[in-house]
């Protein structure tokens, strides 16, 4: 019906039908994968501030570098992050060493919603102060004694047909607990009020609330291993690193250290096999992997000798050296080596917002906020040598402090170097590709013919003109800066028969001497049967 209406419409209506504006996708959503104090496991969760990260994942933790990387991301200009918490249960998990804390309110058994020792601080309080006087209903309050957060559930019941049955209410609303096991036959007894009417029901005597018993406490989780990220079954289950398959978009991937370095988890490392797999995964997701220098890189010579053994030379991976020196409150303010991925991701986000994804996140205005020092000094000669190896330097400059001084990928030198060695060029290509892929999905419902190809060219051209006017490309006019090809020259009759339309977009990047090509293949029309 839609096609028939289009053919019968007037010229202005045909023009309107051909307009499918392409929206520019976000360019600096940073994904962080690793350990956290609390929060859902193997589930990507978006946060828009470090305060939100603290509420959901517990904030800074001396046993994990992830929280510090997230803090540095927001401190340096980041606006949107995706967090994937991984968890390795204490082994064996049995009656004396469990992953989830158990909280008992009379005969009602509650279970911490997420695994981890954070659940050991939970408290519960039951009262029967109901307006209805229903003998089967009660009020339940649950408190996290560390954060002080309290959840109150009024007029809940154990009745199977009750609209506010306690297990269903907690499952859909509570961020602290769920019901464990069968519901008891009778409602739990109420906790008494404090003897002092002005007392705090949570801090006064034990009878005024229920706490996690010693036998019900969660055991301490184990440090992560490579298998927790990319082990057998993780890809199919969309768990570990592959939990990011359940998030719509991320542009930058950070994997803070999880291997200890002489017992130090903040200054630890990452398996080379994970770096390799993460680089490949970023190529599939049109994202960039920010690689941290290994903990053994204590000098420029170490970096020169070790760059070939990093685990990846992906065109979607970039390495930044050296590590940062930052005061860690959890270590009495001692200066500690921390990885730079979070801070660099924040700088990239800040530069994208101020100048655009095509601007290299380098220069005197890329000051690393909250970084009083660097673990290895880098001079001009060192910087030139390291940059030629694909190692981007963090340097201390008079008047500017600690800044980013390099924006190259780890891709080897080859004929594709123009678009693969420069990080801003590569990220611009990824940005255009992702925007075009999303902005041309409507083609799947249109006949794969000249009219469709003309519409695709029109809409992509309008999108590219917008980028040209923002200064994304070289050239004094649009025809010098980019081209869009979609027609018989890109889509053969065999492609048409199989419902495929091929699109090629070329652009002249700001810092390269040749056009960079972006190829997009989109479904269109229907496959013909014979």
On whether both 234 and 370 belong to a single domain, the answer is yes
On whether both 392 and 279 belong to a single domain, the answer is yes
On whether both 328 and 257 belong to a single domain, the answer is yes
CA end-to-end span of the chain: 24
From 157, 189, 216, give the residue that closes a domain. 216
CATH of the domain at 245: 3.40.50.11780
CATH of the domain at 479: 3.10.450
Q: Is residue 350 part of a domain?
A: yes
Whole-prediction pTM: 0.90
On whether both 345 and 240 belong to a single domain, the answer is yes
On whether both 238 and 369 belong to a single domain, the answer is yes
On whether both 78 and 202 belong to a single domain, the answer is no
CA dihedral 324, 325, 329, 330 (to 10 degrees): 70
Q: Is residue 172 part of a domain?
A: yes
In whole angstroms, give the CA distance from residue 338 to residue 341.
9
Number of structural domains found in the chain = 3
| Domain boundaries, position 121 | 102-216
In whole angstroms, give the CA distance from residue 257 to residue 35.
9
Cis peptide before 144 (omega within 30 of 0): no
The residues, ordered by sequence, that sit 6+ positions from 100 with a Cβ below 8 Å of its Cβ are 111, 112, 114, 115, 119, 218
From 176, 196, 216, give the residue that closes a domain. 216
In whole angstroms, give the CA distance from residue 398 to residue 243.
43
On whether both 207 and 120 belong to a single domain, the answer is yes
In whole angstroms, give the CA distance from residue 241 to residue 247.
12
CA 137 to chain centre: 42
Task: Please give the chain's pLDDT, 530 residues, in tens.
Answer: 333 333 233 344 444 455 789 999 999 999 999 999 999 999 999 999 999 999 999 999 999 999 999 999 999 999 999 999 999 998 765 555 789 999 999 889 999 999 999 999 999 999 998 877 778 899 999 999 998 999 999 999 998 888 999 999 999 999 999 999 999 988 999 888 877 666 688 886 778 899 999 999 999 999 999 999 999 999 999 999 999 999 999 999 999 999 998 888 999 999 999 999 999 999 999 999 999 999 999 999 999 999 989 989 999 999 999 999 999 998 988 999 999 999 999 999 999 999 999 999 999 999 999 999 999 999 999 999 999 999 999 999 998 999 999 999 998 755 554 556 899 999 999 999 999 999 999 998 899 999 999 999 999 999 999 999 999 999 999 999 999 999 999 999 999 999 999 999 999 998 765 677 788 888 776 544 44
The residues, ordered by sequence, that sit 6+ positions from 97 with a Cβ below 8 Å of its Cβ are 90, 91, 219
DSSP 3-state of 325: strand
CB-based contact 287:369 (threshold 8 Å):
no
Quick one: DSSP state of residue 1?
A: -
From 216, 243, 277, give the residue that closes a domain. 216
On whether both 168 and 197 belong to a single domain, the answer is yes
Q: Is residue 70 part of a domain?
A: yes
On whether both 34 and 8 belong to a single domain, the answer is no
In whole angstroms, give the CA distance from residue 460 to residue 438.
11
On whether both 259 and 404 belong to a single domain, the answer is yes
In 10 A of CB 57, how many CB atoms?
A: 25
Question: What does the block give as tokens for 417?
Answer: 């170097």
Look at the alpha carbons of 488, 492, 496, 500 in this order and tell me if their dihedral is positive or negative. negative
Q: Is residue 424 part of a domain?
A: no
Q: Is residue 417 part of a domain?
A: no
């Amino acid at each position: 019906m839609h096609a028939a209406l289009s053919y019968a419409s007037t010229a202005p209506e045909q023009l309107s039908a051909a307009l499918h504006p392409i929206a520019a996708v976000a360019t600096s959503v940073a994904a962080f994968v690793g350990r956290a104090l609390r929060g859902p496991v193997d589930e990507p969760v978006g946060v828009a501030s470090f305060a939100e990260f603290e509420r959901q994942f517990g904030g800074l933790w001396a046993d994990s570098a992830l929280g510090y990387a997230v803090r540095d991301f927001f401190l340096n200009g980041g606006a949107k992050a995706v967090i994937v918490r991984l968890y390795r249960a204490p082994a064996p998990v049995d009656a004396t060493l469990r992953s989830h804390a158990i909280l008992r309110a009379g005969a009602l058994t509650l279970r911490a919603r997420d695994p981890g020792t954070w659940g050991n601080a939970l408290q519960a309080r039951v009262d029967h102060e109901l307006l209805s006087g229903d003998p089967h209903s009660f009020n339940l309050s649950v408190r996290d004694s560390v954060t002080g957060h309290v959840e109150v559930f009024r007029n809940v019941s154990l009745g199977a047909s009750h609209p506010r049955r306690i297990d269903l209410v907690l499952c859909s609303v509570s961020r602290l607990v769920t019901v464990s096991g069968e519901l008891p036959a009778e409602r739990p007894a109420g906790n008494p009020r404090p003897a002092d009417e002005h007392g705090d029901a949570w801090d006064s005597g034990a009878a005024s609330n229920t706490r996690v018993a010693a036998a019900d406490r969660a055991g301490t989780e184990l440090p992560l291993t490579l298998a927790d990220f990319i082990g057998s079954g993780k890809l199919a289950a969309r768990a570990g690193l592959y939990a990011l398959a359940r998030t719509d978009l991320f542009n930058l991937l950070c994997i803070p250290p999880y291997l200890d370095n002489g017992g130090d988890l903040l200054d630890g490392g990452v398996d080379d096999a994970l770096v390799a797999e993460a680089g490949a995964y970023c190529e599939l997701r049109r994202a960039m992997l920010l690689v941290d220098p290994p903990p053994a890189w204590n000098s420029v010579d170490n970096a020169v000798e070790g760059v070939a053994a990093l685990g990846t030379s992906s065109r979607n991976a970039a390495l930044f050296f050296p590590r940062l020196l930052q005061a860690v409150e959890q270590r009495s303010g001692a200066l500690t080596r921390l990885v730079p991925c979070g801070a660099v991701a924040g700088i990239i986000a800040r530069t994208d917002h101020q100048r655009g994804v095509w601007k290299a996140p380098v220069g005197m205005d890329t000051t690393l906020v909250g970084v009083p020092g660097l673990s290895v000094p880098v001079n001009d000669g060192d910087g030139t040598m390291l940059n030629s190896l694909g190692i981007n330097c963090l340097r201390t400059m008079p008047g500017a402090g600690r800044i980013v001084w390099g924006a190259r990928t780890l891709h080897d030198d080859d004929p594709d170097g123009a678009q693969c060695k420069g990080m801003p060029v590569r990220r611009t290509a990824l940005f255009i590709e992702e925007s075009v892929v999303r902005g041309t999905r409507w083609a799947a419902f249109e006949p794969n013919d000249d009219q469709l190809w003309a519409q695709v060219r029109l809409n992509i051209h309008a999108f590219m003109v917008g980028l040209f006017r923002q200064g994304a490309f070289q050239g004094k006019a649009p025809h010098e800066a980019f081209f869009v090809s979609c027609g018989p020259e890109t889509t053969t009759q065999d492609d048409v028969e199989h419902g495929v339309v091929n699109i090629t977009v070329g652009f002249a990047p700001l810092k390269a001497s040749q056009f960079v090509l972006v190829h997009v293949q989109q479904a269109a029309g229907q496959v013909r049967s014979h």
